Amino acid sequence: MHDLGHFMSGKRISGKGNRSFPIVNPAQGEIIRHVTCATKKEVEDIVQNAQNAFPKWADTPPATRGKILSKFKNLLENHETEIATLIAEEHGKSIFEAKGSLARGLDVLDYASNIAAHLKGDHLENVGRNIDCYSMRQPIGVCVGITPFNFPAMIPLWIGSIAIACGNAFILKPSERDPSCPLRIAELAYESGIPEGIFNVVQGDKEVVDMLLAHPIVKTISFVGQTETARYIQETGIHYGKRVQAFGGAKNHMLIMPDTDLEQTIDALIGAAYGSAGERCMAISVAMPVGDQLADKLVAGLSAKIKKLKIGPYTDPNAEMGPLINQAHLEKVKNYIDQGVKDGAKLVVDGRSFQHPTEPKGYFLGGCLFDHVQPNMSIYKHEIFGPVLCIVRVKSYEEGLQLINSHPYGNGVALYTRDGDTARDFCTRVEAGMVGINVPVPVPVAQQSFGGWKNSAFADIGMHGMEGIRFFTKLKTVTERWPSGIRKGVEFSLLTTEHK
């Protein structure tokens, strides 16, 4: 067992703080290492180191930066199993899920490696007599990413890839629950040719976050996590003059029409609700079948498949769902289930008693399915962040749409139907940032941008894609005029001199 520290100047450094956090293997319920929280001086050193490295990196041609990022992507691909194992060991995902999450991060890194094409500006000739006008996007400075425990590779790559590609220096503050993967990624970034001080990792909790928020050198803050914290990050960051994007929680709905392909819908729901043990902000946690006949068939089909889910540690190659992140979160999810029963929802599949035969100390929870959930119940109103799916029966498309639009969260949403007119109306009127039509988890591809609405996002600019590039750059517009008479005179003088 050893302590993890920070990453600065191209190498790992031991933490000097007197506060540390245990890192637990959630499949075993045992402490496997510790991570040391940064001191104020360590934060200052890392920020200053990033600031010192920034000018040279910003001056590096975008095409050169892109080539280095391409090497970084190749290195990550070559170390796929190693990184996936670190994710699985500290988070609990299956190896299959861990590799999948890394792949989504690599998609954004691939997009970022083509940064030269994305940074092209606009040019307008002769806006006035002999006057041209053009725009350019330039790097902004030292950028900070504060990322959650559930995707320790994907989200740091979503944020860091674009920040670094645009010419900025990047400081990652990962979750203290699973920090090994981010440290390894930083090492590979340096190995690929990203200079010292451009990719840094600092460990810590709210104290370290507050230091970064208040630091005058830090220019941007990107956050993904709980809604309450996202709101705090936005308000505090703006107070200190930062550019902020803060993404919070979710309660994602799937509205299911009577004309849907039911078997396809059930399979989609199993993956969307129970993948990653429900610990993802894009999980479908509410299914809304239209009509009781469809609802009865949906519940029956889901129940059979949920009971057959293979639950186990990441070391089990057949595991479809792993444990929750820690004991406290396991108890929190169980409390929501208890409250749902108390409020009158019907618990059709109860996973609370599940215990893994060889890992009895692991934080495992079987898949749970509630039927007849009402909008006033806590299991409907709040983000549970676990393997719990709620069935809310609605009588019509309009009733379902209005329920979705009245919910305080607006991250992702899905509609399952075979009718194009219904789908088009849904896309136009639904109040959510990411919409899937017969796609259960509508996370945008790298070329597009990620971002929710309402209490799911406290940001005007989305993550990755062109939105991400706008966030990590400053727009500069140049208006220039060169008097034509002077120019012609100079050229004639030079020409005649050269030919004498």
DSSP result, 125-171: EEEETTEEEEEEEEE-SEEEEE--SS-TTHHHHHHHHHHHHTT-EEE
Amino acid residing at 418: R
Is the pLDDT at 500 greater than 60, yes or no? no
pTM for the full predicted model = 0.94
First to last CA, the chain: 80
Higher per-residue confidence, 500 vs 31: 31
d(C-alpha 21, C-alpha 17), whole Å: 11
> What are the tens digits of pLDDT across the range 363-384?
999 999 999 999 999 999 999 9
Q: Identify the pLDDT of residue 498.
A: 46
pLDDT band at 497 (very low <50, low <70, confident <90, very high): very low
Q: Identify the pLDDT of residue 289.
A: 98
Is the pLDDT at 142 greater than 90, yes or no? yes
Q: Identify the pLDDT of residue 100.
A: 97
What does CATH list as the number for 252-437?
A: 3.40.309.10
**Taking a C-beta distance cutoff of 8 angstroms, is the pair 91, 325 a contact?**
yes
Amino acid residing at 411: N
pLDDT band at 495 (very low <50, low <70, confident <90, very high): very low
Q: Average of pLDDT values for 326-355?
A: 98
Is the pLDDT at 246 greater than 60, yes or no? yes
Is the pLDDT at 388 greater than 90, yes or no? yes
Closest CA to 452 of 285, 287, 282: 282
Sheet with 30-36, side-by-side order of all strands: 3-4, 30-36, 20-25
**Taking a C-beta distance cutoff of 8 angstroms, is the pair 7, 156 a contact?**
no
User: Active-site residue among 37, 143, 281, 390?
Assistant: 281
Q: Average of pLDDT values for 459-464?
A: 90
The question of whether 281 is a catalytic residue gets the answer yes
Q: Where are the alpha helices (DSSP H) in 285-415?
A: 292-307, 327-343, 378-381, 397-406
Residue spans per domain, the chain? 3-248+456-479, 252-437
Is the pLDDT at 124 greater than 50, yes or no? yes
Q: Identify the pLDDT of residue 492.
A: 46
Q: Where are the alpha helices (DSSP H) in 80-122?
A: 80-91, 95-112, 115-118
**Taking a C-beta distance cutoff of 8 angstroms, is the pair 171, 215 a contact?**
no
Q: Average of pLDDT values for 161-172?
A: 98
Is the pLDDT at 266 greater than 90, yes or no? yes
d(C-alpha 75, C-alpha 63), whole Å: 19
Q: Which residues pair with 59 in a beta bridge?
A: none
Considering just the CA atoms, what is the radius of gyration of the chain in Å?
25
Q: Average of pLDDT values for 12-28?
A: 96
Is the pLDDT at 488 greater than 60, yes or no? no
Place of tokens 């989200």: 155
Q: Average of pLDDT values for 111-125?
A: 94
User: Which residue spans within 40-130 are E strands per DSSP?
Assistant: 123-128
Higher per-residue confidence, 491 vs 4: 4
Higher per-residue confidence, 130 vs 427: 427
Higher per-residue confidence, 484 vs 421: 421
> What are the tens digits of pLDDT across the range 190-204?
999 999 999 999 999
Q: What's the full length of the chain, in residues?
A: 500
Q: Average of pLDDT values for 399-411?
A: 98
Burial 239-271 (b: 16+ CB within 10 A, else e): eeebbbbbbbbbbbbbbbbeebebeebbebbbe
Longest dimension (CA), the chain: 99
Q: What is the DSSP letter of 472?
A: T
Would you state the structure tokens that stand for residue 465, as one six-digit string?
A: 């894609």
d(C-alpha 325, C-alpha 26), whole Å: 6
> What are the tens digits of pLDDT across the range 54-77?
999 999 999 999 999 999 999 999
Is the pLDDT at 14 greater than 50, yes or no? yes
Q: Identify the pLDDT of residue 483.
A: 78
Q: Which of 126-135, 148-157, 182-191, 464-473 has the lowest mean pLDDT?
A: 126-135
Assign a CATH topology to domain 3-248+456-479. Aldehyde Dehydrogenase; Chain A, domain 1 (3.40.605)
Q: Identify the pLDDT of residue 69.
A: 98
Is the pLDDT at 30 greater than 60, yes or no? yes
Is the pLDDT at 491 greater than 90, yes or no? no
Those residues with Cβ within 8 angstroms of residue 211's Cβ, 6 or more apart along the chain or in another chain: 40, 43
d(C-alpha 93, C-alpha 83), whole Å: 12
Is the pLDDT at 263 greater than 80, yes or no? yes
Percent of the chain residues past pLDDT 70, beyond the cut: 96
Closest CA to 90 of 267, 339, 227, 279: 279
Q: Average of pLDDT values for 433-454?
A: 96
DSSP letter for each residue of 362-381: S-----EEEES--TTSHHHH
